[in-house]
Amino acid sequence: MRIAVFGTGGTGGYLGALLSRSANQVSMIARGENLKAIQAIGLRVESTKGDFVVRPAQVTSVPAEIGTVDTVIVAVKAWQVPEAAQAIVPLVGPDTAVVALQNGVDAPTQLADVLGEKHVMIGLLILRSFRISPGCFRHTFDSDPNLQIGEFDNRPSQRAEDLASVFRAAGLSVAIPPDIRASLWEKFCWACYSAGIPTVSRSPMGIWRQQPELRRMAEEAGLEAAAIAKANGVIVPEGFIDRFRHMTDNLAPTAKPSMQDDIMNGRPSELESWNGAAVRLGLECGVDTPVNSFIYHCLLPLEMKARGQVEFD
């Protein structure tokens, strides 16, 4: 399959490496030092499943140099999707699938607004991979399934089956749920539940999950997100809070969400797409979000600082 991976952070770099290793024709869209490193020495992966190095078929910062492909994997951060949607246009032919892998619930619609609904697929990826140096990625965590995938409008499709097969051949566990939108919103509930409280409290999983009040606040943040989903006509699968509790208790004590890692290190984060989106969407549909509002407004000054909008020590 001809695949373009747009974005070579932790997710895009790791997926690009897996797909290249399994004999797909993979093109990587990268920039800066990452671009230079991948062009020079390929994609290097340090993984719990074994280290390896691969060379993608093409590495460039100019999508038009690649031309149309079968599948585009959009692996940029959530706030970068509107810009990425415009840049992806030269990659999209009549039958190209464009897979949104972002956290939050906005990215599929943002892509569809530019590229058309028929091209957009929703992907829900749960693994932990991050870039440790230009062209080098470390993979540390998997779930089962790693990836859920489906069409923007929830219809069954052969291309979803074909793409699932490609990802399975690359080494991922893949499922095609009956309602990808419900799964998308459940992951959004998980993001609101699992990211905000540890970031506000500056504590890893093993610390905050031992505090009953922090756990209660995290659960309330997830329940607020589920109420917003219901107001938008989506029912999050029953028992999701119990699943979140189980996941919380089984993650490594040192685990931290990417939002926490970004904010604590002074980098722009996905705050606006997670707890911030819960506040925004709650206002739009009339759902109160007191816990998400507390989280969002506590973290907003640090987010603004990371984006150069304010200055303080």
Write down the pLDDT at residue 126.
85
Q: Are 94 and 26 in contact (CB under 8 A)?
A: no
Instruction: Give Cβ neighbours of residue 250 (< 8 Å, ≥ 6 apart).
Output: none
What's the rounded Cα separation, in Å, for the pair 72 and 81? 13
Write down the pLDDT at residue 132.
93
Write down the pLDDT at residue 23.
86
Q: Are 270 and 259 in contact (CB under 8 A)?
A: yes
| Ordered per-residue pLDDT tens for the chain, 313 residues | 999 999 999 999 999 999 999 989 999 999 999 999 999 999 999 998 899 999 999 999 999 999 999 999 999 999 999 999 999 999 999 999 999 999 899 999 999 999 999 999 999 998 888 899 999 999 987 777 889 999 999 999 999 999 999 999 999 999 999 999 999 999 999 999 999 999 999 999 999 999 999 999 999 999 999 999 999 999 999 999 999 999 999 988 999 998 999 999 999 999 999 999 999 999 999 999 999 999 999 999 999 999 999 999 8
Write down the pLDDT at residue 144.
79
Domains of the chain in start order, with CATH, are: 2-178 (3.40.50.720), 182-306 (1.10.1040.10)
For residue 31, the surrounding DSSP H or E stretch is none
Residue 212: helix, strand or coil by DSSP?
helix
Instruction: Give Cβ neighbours of residue 101 (< 8 Å, ≥ 6 apart).
Output: 11, 73, 74, 75, 123, 124, 125
What's the rounded Cα separation, in Å, for the pair 110 and 83? 10
What's the rounded Cα separation, in Å, for the pair 5 and 191? 24
Write down the pLDDT at residue 140.
87
Write down the pLDDT at residue 128.
83
The 10s digit of each residue's pLDDT in 217-237 is: 999 999 999 999 999 999 999
